[in-house]
Chain A
Amino acid sequence: MSELAVGNIVRRVLHIIREEDHSNTRDAVEGFRLSVGGDNDYIVEQDHLNLSVAAQSSLCRPSLHALLERSPDSATTYFTATTEDDSEEKRKSLDPNARSLEFRRKVISAVNDLIEDINTCHLVIAELAVEHIHHNEVILTFGRSRTVKEFLCAAKEKKRSFGLFVAEGAPKYQGHLLAKELAARGLQTTVITDSAVFAMISRVNMVIVGVHAVMANGGVIGPVGLNMVALAARKHAVPFVVVTGTHKLCPLYPNNPEVSLNEMRSPSEVLSFEEFSDCMDYRIGTGAPQLHVGNPSFDYVPPELVSLFITDIGGYYPSYMYRLIADYYSSDDLVIQQKPAS
């Protein structure tokens, strides 16, 4: 349950397939209206049949599997309405196999577009950097995100000079790597520990972070420690900006996200086994271990703490994110059913 982006992409692809099918059906229904005007009894009868099949297929859609594996039988007869129309007729009179191939080709090209979008989202976002970062600003970031890195470097390219604080982001310490990369690119970087975030944030103009996933209510799932940073930013009235591609937008609502959307990593990253191996054996009266070590890997930040989302389709307020879900996902796909083994 931790890699939400996988589920997102699956749903995106399903949505693409449904969209393609929906646009095909719409065209077919359009074609009917043109042909129903005919007076021929035979035609009317055929048309009624076709219309009803089309209506049936639009109301209770065939499964996606059926759409892709369309076999040349009754389900496709609505394409064979007889009239004198030009391109519609040509298309309708195509061989069903070719139609299925055509459909699949369209779906594949849409998926390729999606791949392209995901690969280049950080470049698109980086173009917006100049609007948000100005001279002599001080920016704080947490952990390491490629989108943030490109964002900051783009502002640097445009000759904006700003200072940067990077919080190291224990226990992965990705902040160290980011700081090294940014210093190599010429940005004035200071590495601080996560505990010093509250101390330094009074001197910071803006917090820019990348996250793991964006939930439907506008809340974000980010590296552990991000909630602390967001709270400190709110206390000091510092804008908390999240840069993310739309592929991270998840249509689920976070219920008890600390537990259900979290992943616990090995405690050895926090406490070394060699030093504390003797303590691991202690037990209290009931036999439960005396020493627990917690190492969650994600943190949930509620939408009230986020000031702005910068995505590859523009900047949005957290309460708007649910609208984007309607654009990218179909409601049928929200809960991916387990197929019963039959």
Chain B
Amino acid sequence: MQNDLPANSKPLKERTSKAERRALQEAQRAAKAAAKAEGSKLPATTSGAVASANVKPTKATKPSSQKNDSATVASSEKKGGDRPPEKDRKKDAPHPRMQYDDKSRVEKAKRRAVVKQTEARNRVELFRHLPQYEHGTQLPDLESKFFQLDPVHPVVYKVGLQYISGDISGGNARCIAMLQAFQEAIKDYSTPDEKTLTRDLTAKINSYVSFLNECRPLSISMGNAIRFLKNRIAKLPLTLSESEAKAFLQSDIEQFISEKIILADKVIVKHAVTKIRDGDVLLTHGSSSAVEMILLHAHELGKQFRVVIVDSRPKLEGQLLLRRLVGKGLSCTYANINAVSYIMHEVTRVFLGASSVLSNGTVYSRVGTACVAMVAHEFRVPVLVCCEAYKFHERVQLDSICSNELGDPDAISKVPGREDINYLDGCTNSENLQLLNLIYDATPSDYVSMIVTDYGMVPPTSVPVIVREYCRDQVWI
């Protein structure tokens, strides 16, 4: 069972059987471990493959896409021997993500970091496993380094800066911006001598990803897109020339964006609009691109309905949505999330967006969504979550604490526009007082009536089925 080159034995897009694909991944992992260890092509043992899989987590601190690194690293496409499928099943369980209270791993990650982060001094104990840095220190530092072009491509750098400043926010927007930046980077890429395109390009993409992660932790949609890209790189046949390979990858990214995001949104809008009737009062929380499209499309179709926008601090994203909807002529009501019990009496449907839907049906979305869904459930109002299928993930999560993102604590102490409320000015460094700014929360599946995806309208229990059939092993139909 040596690793021999396949002489054009399989065209790139052929659907191989599961066992063969797993065997392929095993062999690739083994080859990578071997290449790293000795530089000679020896078949690595199973333990060697496992060791290489464990080395990878420290290389790139990507909490959400970590667990599928084992499936995507490839030095070249080699057909390995027949590993029994049972051994592969064990490695299908996701790798645990990097926990930031593990000091040795944090140290290693810091050494590789491009962005110099200072850790926040006043950390909430409950969230020690999540990264928390001093905000406000990164942006000027990074801006000054903009013209030192190594090691990060300027387009990727720009996108990272936009993430930090909050100019780009929202799952779809961030994902599209990142993929387009990668397209540019691939266009400008040229393989150095004595390196293979796939291996080197993958390493470069990894470094870009870790840079973006340091700017702002990756969202789950971005993690899935990265997994897709790396898998495409891995599957490139060796016989392609460099320019052909690059063109191939660029068109793949283009196809991903247009199919998985843009077309998916159109399908979601088409499905969800059927659920809106004349005289409805629709409630939404924050600003979700999918929900906005649904409301605008329904308005264009001439349906008569009212919209209630519930907003929450500190981001107050609902105000942007409000402005856009009122500009298009919808009649809107705006309220703070505290008033949701007051407003819910007159609401007929609740539409929510999601950053991701996890495999136990939990909806992972902007903080406050869980409160809205809970109150809607209490008042017997149906809750519809609109989420593209590429955002689904195999992970499971029970509450909002296991995995989350911590934002800038100063955003809580400052209340914009209300100068009389400045009790907490200068208190961020008091030793007994901490400010907690959560970005996401997890809504339990019993509060969700239906999830509208591009695969149709499904109950929350169908999410792991979709993940398994359509998203596993990167069979992106």
Contact with B along A185-219 (1 / 0, CB 8 A): 01111111111111110110000000000000000
- Chain B: interface size category: 35 or more
The segment out of B10-18, B84-92, B197-205, B419-427 that lies at the interface is B419-427
Given contacts A199-B400, A228-B341, contact A290 B326 (CB under 8 A): yes
B423 CB contacts on chain A under 8 angstroms? 173, 176-177, 180
Across-interface contacts of A292 in B (CB, < 8 A)? 331-334
Give the interface SS of chain B, mostly helix, strand, loop or mixed: mixed
Binary A-proximity of B124-137 (CB < 8 A = 1, otherwise 0) = 10100000000000
From residue 292 to 325 of chain B, which have CB atoms closer than 8 A to chain A? 312-314, 319, 322-323
Q: Which residues of B contact A170 (CB under 8 A)?
A: 313, 336-338
Taking CB atoms, residues of chain B closer than 8 Å to A17 are: none
Contacts of B432 in A (CB 8 A): 182-184, 186-189
Q: Which residue of B lies closest to A274 (CB)?
A: B417
Contact, CB under 8 Å: B334 / A196? no
The chain B residue sitting closest to A284, CB to CB, is B331
A96 at the interface (CB under 8 A from B): no
Q: Which chain A residues border B430 with CB–CB below 8 Å?
A: 183
Q: A173-B415, A193-B437 are in contact. Are A294 and B442 (CB under 8 A)?
A: no
B113 an interface residue at 8 Å Cβ cutoff? Answer: no
On chain B, the residues within 8 Å of A232 by CB distance are 371, 374
Residues of B near A275 (CB, < 8 A) are: 319
A173 CA / B336 CA spacing, docked (Å):
12
A225 to B338 alpha-carbon distance, docked (Å): 4
Q: Does chain A have a CB within 8 A of B375?
A: yes
Task: Give Cα A184 to B424, complex, Å.
Answer: 12
Q: How far is the CA of A271 from the CA of B309 in the complex (A)?
A: 12
Question: CA separation between A305 and B312, bound complex, in Å?
Answer: 24
- From A164, which residue of chain B is reached at the shortest CB distance? B432
Taking A173-B415, A202-B399, A294-B343 as contacts, is the C-beta distance between A194 and B335 under 8 angstroms? no
Closest to B126 in A: A203
CB of A276 within 8 A of chain B? yes
Alpha-carbon separation in the docked complex, A198 to B367 (Å): 9
CB distance from A19 to the nearest CB of B (A): 39
Tell me if B438 is interfacial: C-beta within 8 Å of chain A: yes
If A183-B427, A258-B342, A294-B334 touch, whether A193 touches B312 (CB-CB below 8 Å) is yes
For A228, give its contact among B319, B375, B437 (CB under 8 Å): B375
A235 at interface by CB-CB < 8 Å: yes
CA distance A290 to B307 in the complex (A): 10
Give, as a whole number of angstroms, the nearest-CB distance from A294 to chain B.
5
Is B436 an interface position by the 8 A CB rule?
A: yes
A189-B434, A190-B124 as given contacts; A235 in contact with B399, CB under 8 Å: no
Assuming the contacts A183-B433, A190-B124, asked whether A198 and B333 have C-beta atoms less than 8 A apart, the reply is no
Task: Assess the B378–A171 pair: CB atoms within 8 A.
Answer: no
**B327 nearest in chain A by CB position:** A279
Q: Does B418 contact A (CB under 8 A)?
A: yes
Question: Contacts A190-B436, A227-B375, A294-B333: A269 and B370 contacting too (C-beta < 8 A)?
Answer: no
Is B69 among interface residues, defined by CB-CB distance under 8 A?
A: no
Query: Which interface residue of A189, A195, A227, A299 has the most chain B CB atoms within 10 A?
Result: A195
B interface with A by C-beta (< 8 Å): 124, 126, 312-314, 319, 322-323, 326-327, 329-343, 345, 367-368, 370-371, 374-375, 378, 399-401, 404, 412-413, 415, 417-418, 421, 423-424, 427, 430, 432-438, 441-442
The contact sample of 20 A-B pairs, CB cut-off 8 A, is A190-B434, A191-B412, A193-B368, A193-B437, A194-B312, A194-B338, A199-B399, A199-B442, A202-B401, A225-B339, A227-B341, A227-B375, A258-B341, A269-B418, A270-B334, A290-B329, A291-B334, A293-B335, A295-B335, A299-B341
Chain A interfacial positions (CB closer than 8 Å to B) = 165, 168-171, 173, 176-177, 179-180, 182-184, 186-200, 202-203, 223-225, 227-228, 231-232, 235, 258, 262, 269-272, 274-276, 279, 282, 284, 288, 290-296, 299-300
Besides A189-B434, A194-B313, A276-B319, 8 new A-B residue pairs in contact (Cβ under 8 A), listed by A number:
A183-B433, A187-B432, A197-B371, A203-B126, A225-B338, A274-B417, A291-B326, A294-B335
